[in-house]
């Protein structure tokens, strides 16, 4: 298969990922390249070409074997270059985003932290456990969830955001509504985390541009009430990649700086179990966008579906397995409910890669 045809869209997925001293030696020898600046490296790639007629071709090879393919080389540069800090966080080691759902109906802990005092106590516990970011949300986006008015969402989240921003904690606002983004940013939120990639509200892009706030762009097929009704893709990982690439281009054109963008392929949002597994296996593919990659799979339904149908709070082991799988493909941020356990798992992973958790 040639990747030089003009009418095919080319995607490059890193393979042969190396860690610790093996990576440095392979890069020095010229047989591998750093993955998003390190500490992992990759020595092989899978080149995926999608033809206009719907056909998909795949071929794997070493870096030397694909060195003559111009479109591949361009993508290698995006895959390899170091990532700039995101929201002031250096990305030399993976960051942990802890979840605070100030909602009555979130799939995992709905109602546990609807009371502001409980939400603040939970956030303090997550920070003590090692969270780098607190992600505060006031609307459940679980499958089948009903929408919440922006006014109610603001009532739920702003006191919590204001409290933690006042302590110096780094807070993200998990919302798809422009008014909520604006209110949370005014209260001190540092990051916008939007499951609709700034498409859910016509004013969202403008809020992001005017605020200069870092933004997490997530892929979701459809909207929460309907997203799990027979989701369908031609090829899920490259479909998601193409969507995120388009949203990144829109944001850059609007004036958002590249260092203020992060991408999330949206595991669990309009995807079947098979789709979720495919996206997770292709985590490294998304580094081709040249931006930090966030993976959020904590306690999600596909974990139970693959095991014994455990309820959300009994999916810790699967959540950790998924988080470590994504770290092994260079994900820079993991969004989790169980921060202490993720911190410990990350500490061991970092030690194996020759790094310290502190």
Structure tokens at 115: 């009371």
Set 13, 156, 176, 335: catalytic member: 335
Range in 25-34, 52-61, 138-147, 347-356 the model is least confident about = 138-147
Q: Containing H/E element for 70?
A: helix 70-80
* pLDDT tens readout for residues 250-259: 999 999 999 9
Structure tokens at 173: 């606002």
Question: For residue 4, what pLDDT is reported?
Answer: 43
Question: For residue 109, what pLDDT is reported?
Answer: 63
What does pTM read for this prediction?
A: 0.95
Looking at the predicted structure, is the pLDDT value of residue 315 above 50?
Answer: yes
335 has catalytic annotation = yes
pLDDT exceeding 70 applies to what percent of the chain? 96
Mean pLDDT of 23-43: 96
Find the distance separating the first CA and the last CA of the chain, reported in whole Å.
46
Question: For residue 106, what pLDDT is reported?
Answer: 65
Distance CA(355)–CA(343), nearest Å, equals: 14
Distance CA(188)–CA(179), nearest Å, equals: 14
Residue with tokens 């990532």: 83
Distance CA(97)–CA(99), nearest Å, equals: 7
Mean pLDDT of 69-73: 88
> How would you class 298 by CB atoms within 10 Å of its CB: exposed for 0-12, middle for 13-18, buried for 19 or more?
buried
Looking at the predicted structure, is the pLDDT value of residue 236 above 70?
Answer: yes
Q: How confident is the model at residue 120 (pLDDT cuts 50, 70, 90)?
A: very high
* pLDDT tens readout for residues 121-179: 999 999 999 999 999 999 988 777 778 899 999 999 999 999 999 999 999 999 999 99
Distance CA(62)–CA(14), nearest Å, equals: 10
Phi, psi of 33 (to 5 degrees): -125, 150
Question: For residue 7, what pLDDT is reported?
Answer: 55
| Angle between helix 178-186 and 150-166 (nearest 10) | 20
Q: Are 192 and 163 in contact (CB under 8 A)?
A: no
Set 300, 309, 313, 315: catalytic member: 300
Report helix, strand and coil shares of the chain as percent, to nearest 5.
40, 20, 40
Distance CA(221)–CA(232), nearest Å, equals: 9
Looking at the predicted structure, is the pLDDT value of residue 345 above 50?
Answer: yes
Mean per-residue pLDDT of the chain: 93
The CB density around residue 74, as the number of other CB atoms within 10 Å, is 13
Question: For residue 295, what pLDDT is reported?
Answer: 98
pLDDT exceeding 90 applies to what percent of the chain? 83
Q: How confident is the model at residue 197 (pLDDT cuts 50, 70, 90)?
A: very high
Looking at the predicted structure, is the pLDDT value of residue 110 above 70?
Answer: no
Looking at the predicted structure, is the pLDDT value of residue 225 above 80?
Answer: no
Question: For residue 265, what pLDDT is reported?
Answer: 98
Mean pLDDT of 275-283: 98
Looking at the predicted structure, is the pLDDT value of residue 321 above 60?
Answer: yes
Looking at the predicted structure, is the pLDDT value of residue 356 above 90?
Answer: no
Question: For residue 107, what pLDDT is reported?
Answer: 64
Q: Containing H/E element for 349?
A: helix 339-352
Looking at the predicted structure, is the pLDDT value of residue 301 above 80?
Answer: yes
Looking at the predicted structure, is the pLDDT value of residue 357 above 80?
Answer: no
Looking at the predicted structure, is the pLDDT value of residue 43 above 90?
Answer: yes
């Amino acid at each position: 298969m040639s990747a030089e045809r003009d009418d095919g869209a080319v995607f490059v997925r890193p393979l042969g990922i190396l860690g610790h001293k093996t990576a440095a030696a392979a890069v020095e020898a010229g047989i591998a390249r750093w993955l998003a600046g390190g500490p992992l490296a990759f020595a092989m790639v899978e080149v995926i070409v999608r033809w206009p007629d719907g056909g998909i071709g795949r071929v794997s090879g070493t870096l030397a074997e694909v060195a003559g393919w111009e479109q591949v080389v361009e993508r290698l540069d995006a895959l390899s270059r170091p990532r700039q800090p995101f929201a002031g966080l250096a990305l030399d080691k993976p960051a942990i985003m802890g979840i605070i759902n100030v909602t009555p109906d979130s799939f995992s802990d709905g109602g546990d932290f609807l009371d502001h005092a409980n939400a603040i106590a939970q956030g303090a516990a997550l920070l003590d456990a090692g969270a780098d970011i607190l992600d505060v949300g006031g609307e459940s986006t679980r499958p089948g969830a009903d929408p919440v008015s922006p006014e109610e969402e603001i009532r739920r989240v702003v006191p919590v955001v204001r409290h933690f921003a006042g302590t110096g904690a780094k807070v993200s606002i998990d919302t798809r509504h422009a008014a909520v983004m604006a209110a949370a940013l005014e209260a001190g939120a540092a990051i916008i985390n939007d499951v609709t990639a700034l498409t859910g509200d016509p004013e969202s892009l403008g809020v992001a541009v005017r605020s200069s706030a870092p933004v997490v762009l997530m892929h979701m097929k459809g909207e929460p009430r309907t997203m799990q009704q027979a989701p369908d893709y031609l090829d899920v990982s490259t479909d998601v990649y193409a969507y995120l690439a388009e949203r990144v281009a829109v944001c850059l054109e609007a004036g958002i700086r590249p260092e203020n963008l992060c991408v999330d392929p949206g595991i669990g949002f309009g995807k079947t179990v098979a789709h979720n597994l495919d996206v997770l296996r292709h985590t490294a593919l998304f580094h081709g966008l040249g931006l930090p990659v966030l993976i959020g799979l904590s306690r999600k339904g596909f974990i139970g579906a693959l095991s014994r149908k455990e309820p959300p709070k009994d999916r810790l082991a699967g959540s950790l397995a998924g988080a470590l799988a994504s770290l092994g493909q260079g994900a820079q941020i993991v969004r989790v409910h169980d921060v202490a356990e993720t911190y410990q798992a990350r500490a061991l992973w970092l030690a194996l890669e020759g790094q310290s958790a502190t």
